[in-house]
Amino acid sequence: KPWVAFYANGLVAELPEGSVEDVLARVREKRCDVLVVDERWSASTRPRLAPLLDPGMAPPGLRVLHESDSPRRIVLYDASGLR
């Protein structure tokens, strides 16, 4: 989400096409601090990331920073635990 990085004064790291493991590998490679998973975006373009919309299914190393269901599901994870 480029707007998240913009408002956080951060940088954008493009997510690769692929599995949750592929995304986590990119997060580690780029040393990302936050991973944003948005139902509006992932449901249509990256359906294999849908499990990350449920924090109960999140892999070890990801910690929920914020989640909301309005207007659509979005979860922000602290990804620093993946380093």
Tens-digit pLDDT string for the chain (83 aa): 677 788 878 888 888 889 999 999 999 999 999 999 999 887 778 889 999 999 999 999 999 999 999 999 999 999 999 98
Tell me which residue of 67, 51, 57, 61 sits closest to 19, measured CA to CA.
Answer: 51
Beta strands in 1-83 (DSSP E): 34-38, 63-68, 74-78
Q: What is the pLDDT of residue 1?
A: 62
Q: What is the pLDDT of residue 26?
A: 94
**Quick one: pLDDT at residue 67?**
96
